[in-house]
Amino acid sequence: MENLNSIPTGSDAPRRVVVIGGGPAAHRFTEAMQARTLQVPAGHGANHAVTVLGEEDHLPYDRVALSRRLVESEDLTLGDPALWAAPGIRYRGGSRVVAIDPAMHTVTLHNGETLEWDDLVFATGSSATVPDIPGADAGHVYRTIEDVDFLVGEVGRLGERLGRPANIVVVGGGLLGLEAAGGLARLGGRSTIVHSGKWLMSTQLDEGAGQALGRLIQAQGVSLALGNRPTKILTSPTGRVLGVSLTDGTQLHADLVVFSIGITPRDELAAAAGLGLGARGGIAIGPDCSTSIPGIWAIGEVASVDGTCVGLVAPANAMAEVVADRLYGGAALFPGVDDATKLKLSGVEVASFGDALATSEHALEVVYADPARGLYQKIVVTDDAKTLLGGVFVGDTAPFTALRPLLGRELPTEPGAYLSAAGAEPPENSDLPDDVQLCSCNNVSVGTVRAAVRGDHGALGHDGACTELSPLKACTRAGTQCGSCVPLVKKILETELTRAGIEVSRALCEHIALCRSELFESVRILQLTSFEQIMDRFGSGLGCDICKPVIASILATQTAGYILDSGRGTLQDTNDRALANMQKDGTYSVVPRIPGGEITPAKLAVIAEVAAGFNLYTKITGGQRIDLFGARLEQLPEIWKILVDAGFESGQAYGKSLRTVKSCVGSTWCRFGVQDAVAMAITLELRYRGLRAPHKFKLGVSGCARECAEARGKDVGIIATEQGWNLYVGGNGGYQPAHAQLLAQDLDDETLIRYIDRYLMYYIRTGDRLQRTARWQEDLAGGLDHVRDVVVHDSLGIAAELELAMHAHVGNYEDEWAATLKDPERLRRFRSFVNAPATPDPAVVQVIERGQPRPAWPAERAAGGAPTTPVLVSGPTIPLRPADAPIGE
């Protein structure tokens, strides 16, 4: 029998604490115990020796962040590994407990070893639930690092073996299921979510939010089978997964099945030892986290609170703190469950907290919904519209950070002020009372963060102050787990620093200490022309997916050259590298420029010819252009050649650059028009085409005050008057729309263009990464008045310089499609397979709907195509399959 940590067992010896389980709850408990040990003066006793027994070989890691490991091999280890080298602390990985004896105060390991304890803490967590259906053993779960690493490898292996993306069915439409499906889709798989509810995340979201989330998830290329459960996993005689049968009688083709339908508390050891269990499993605990047997405690997902086990970070951390406090003689009680959640799937924003479903009596719901854009925001308050009870946000979670700390308190303004999707600007909450809980995961208050920023003596700059975000997070724990409170932590940090007159860091990323505008100016002044030169001068490391595209954009703005040459191709985002927009099925869309929306019948005929010849789906965009969907990578140059020969060029729909200049017909045809809107729109579009910026931007030109071109919804809007043109700036659509504001009025053509030149170039030089013009203007000191001073009155004396920079852009412009076609080396990029340049991608399967091709849904793909519609086989020269032809694999 081992004497733990070689600790003597005399009366003055530290108490022996054994923790069963090596997950986040065990880690937090150990941190809490160590913090209290350090606070006990030497010689005063009451110390404890902690041994943590983990089944996995890893040190405790962040299970909340498992989805990040799907797309990059990230170290998820929690906290500082030095914790496990501290005196009286020990971690034993690969140590599975098979039995406990409460009477003898011992635990037995899988190798027969027996350990003694004075206090025993269950932190065994939970296992992923697997449905009791035929073939379930052929499925996989998404619970541990080993699970995730296996799935990453398996998606790649299946793709290589099958010669196409793997079809993946994820069973479960909760938080973890969505993250799994999204991550596996980003790895190249085709994901379908099977969920028993009528909408996704049905336990956290109401129907409106769930439907909005569903649209956003589908836009990520993930298919949905809602209101369904699996009844059987179909396998071959060799055990290979073939498909999934559902309760509605349909079957989904599948190569891989992942279960994510919930958790089952790992209470088998406790049950065998005679501990009391909750009605639905888990170890029953009291308010002090004690179990039915003295000296034994339970924390985390295995603990049953009021009959329920909770799989969230905040309650587990709170339980860990309670038990640590109790073992040191305190009287802490578990404060209850905080079920705030935030989805971490890239490109999809979802958050909920408090009474999100408005179950409280006399609850009032304040809702904004825009189904077309996948936006849904609901704030739940008391019926006097004062006290915040909860909220749910889909598509735009900006209010979550501001509102979450105010749960249970009176709002400082009316609830509608927080509906950012409706264009509202919520009030700043950096002045929250000190006692407001900022980080629910780690129970950190606003006051704790402020005190850490100010330092031990309340003076900024003191050695004990945390004046940067990373040290602040480390010393307070705020934002170190789910991360949803990080924006507010950063805001409080910046506010405290600003109040003390200390400059706030605006570093672009961890590799470049300059902000985007500083980097832009430095590159311009030093005339740097490559990524390597910039990193040598201003960066460290190899760069990342934040700084690389920013540098590519800066170089594209300042240097005349093909954007994929000189090593700049590897810096670009996927769409920029392909000079086209990738779609959900791996094909690309082609958007030729149609300046001002004006096009001749002959050019329309060419587009029709291309669409018909390559079997492309055709749609008029909102910006008066024609989008051609479904082109394979190797088809792009052939399509471009036909279009370029007919006088078209790239519409740059793939870039952070000018998209369109929308116009009405103006005075040419309209009896209300007072200026030639079409001519002006064409002039502006040809002038600013290809201009790279911090974010995409659009222009609009209306020929009269009736505003048919919706110019005030654009970054730059021009509205005709009898005396000339009114110029509006800073508008945009998107998830947070804003109306453009009047900058100058009654301008002649020359002055109008000069002001737009200055405005756009000033924005390009000073805007932050991915910052739209509306937010850029708001963040400038002085706002619109400052912009007017610079653009109209030349208050900074840089107007001529801005105009000259725009003149250089106009003179150096070259169509990127035409430039690609001229160079055989550049064309080599546009091949699906290096060893077989003419081979089409066999994974592209489309069906005909409303007379046009679209990507096949999973059920259609599984059947080889929709039963009543022809399947488009890859390539423009292969005929369509007859509708009555038999369907094969």
As a three-state string, the secondary structure of 206-240 is: CHHHHHHHHHHHHHCCCEEEECCCEEEEEECCCCC
Gap between the Cα atoms of 33 and 474, Å rounded: 17
Highest mean pLDDT among 393-402, 488-497, 603-612: 603-612
Which of 571-575, 633-637, 788-792: highest mean pLDDT? Answer: 788-792
Q: Where are the beta strands (DSSP E) in 632-708?
A: 658-663, 697-702
Which fold is adopted by the domain 4-127+265-327?
Answer: FAD/NAD(P)-binding domain (3.50.50)
Q: Are 14 and 128 in contact (CB under 8 A)?
A: no
- Residue 350: exposed, middle, or buried by beta-carbon count in 10 A (0-12, 13-18, 19+)? buried
Distance in angstroms (rounded) separating the CA atoms of residues 415 and 642: 55
Q: Measured in Å, how far apart are the chain's first and last C-alpha atoms? A: 61
Decide if pLDDT at 12 tops 70: no
Calculate the dihedral angle through the C-alpha atoms of 520, 526, 528, 531, rounding to the nearest 10 degrees.
-60
Q: What percent of the chain has pLDDT over 90?
A: 43
pLDDT of 434 > 50? The answer is: yes
Residue 24's SS3 state is: helix
Closest residue by Cα to residue 760 from 726, 718, 796, 730: 730
> pLDDT exceeding 70 applies to what percent of the chain?
87
Is residue 576 very low, low, confident or very high in pLDDT (cuts 50, 70, 90)? confident
Where residue 459 falls among pLDDT bands split at 50, 70, 90?
Answer: very low
Residue-wise pLDDT tens digits, 272-310: 999 999 988 999 999 999 999 999 999 999 999 988 888
Sheet holding 697-702, edge to edge: 658-663, 697-702, 716-721, 724-729, 741-747
Q: For the ranges 235-249, 582-596, 693-707, which has the lowest average pLDDT?
A: 582-596
Read off the pLDDT of each residue in 760-785 and give the average, rounded to a whole number: 89
Q: How far is 305 from 676, CA to CA, in rounded Å?
A: 71
pTM above 0.85, yes or no: no
Instruction: For 423-480, give the secondary structure using H, E and C.
Output: CCCCCCCCCCCCCCEEECCCCEEHHHHHHHHHCCCCCCCCCCCCCCHHHHHHHHCCCC
Q: Is CATH 3.30.413.10 correct for 657-814?
A: yes
Provide the pLDDT confidence category of residue 871 given band limits of 50, 70 and 90. Answer: very low
The confidence band for 503, taking pLDDT boundaries of 50, 70 and 90, is low
Residue 160's contacts (CB-CB under 8 Å, 6 or more residues apart) are none
Residue 463 has pLDDT above 60, yes or no: no
Distances (CA, A) of 307 to 750, 752, 815: 74, 69, 66
**Helix, strand, coil content of the chain in percent (nearest 5):** 35, 20, 45
User: Mean pLDDT throughout 211-227?
Assistant: 89
- Give 649-666 as a DSSP string: -B--TTSSBEEEEEE--G
pLDDT score, position 1: 40
Per-residue exposure over 813-826, b if at least 16 CB sit within 10 Å of its own CB, e if not: bebbbbbbbeeeeb
C-alpha closest to that of 62 among 456, 481, 369:
481
CATH 3.30.390 fits 349-427, yes or no: yes
How many angstroms separate the CA atoms of 342 and 399, rounded?
12
Give the domain 136-261 fold: FAD/NAD(P)-binding domain (3.50.50)
Which H or E element spans position 193? strand 190-195
- Average of per-residue pLDDT values in the chain: 84
Alpha-carbon distance 460 to 469, whole Å? Answer: 14
Partners of 848 in the β-ladder: 853
pLDDT category at 427 given cuts 50, 70, 90 is: low
Every domain range in the chain assigned CATH 3.50.50.60? 4-127+265-327, 136-261
User: Positive or negative CA dihedral for 149, 151, 152, 156?
Assistant: positive
Which of 216, 246, 213 is closest to 229 using CA atoms?
246
35 pLDDT exceeds 90?
Answer: no
Q: What is the CA radius of gyration of the chain?
A: 31
Among 304, 10, 7, which Cα is nearest to 18's?
7
| Amino acid identity at 135 | G
Q: Where are the extended beta strands (E) located within 448-566?
A: none
CATH 3.30.413.10 domain range(s) in the chain: 657-814
pLDDT of residue 841: 55
The answer on pLDDT for 122 being more than 90 is yes
* Predicted local confidence at residue 854, as pLDDT: 85
CB 614 within 8 A of CB 635: yes
Give the pairing type, strands 140-141 and 256-259: parallel
Q: How many residues are recorded in the chain?
A: 889
Highest mean pLDDT among 135-144, 405-414, 521-530: 135-144
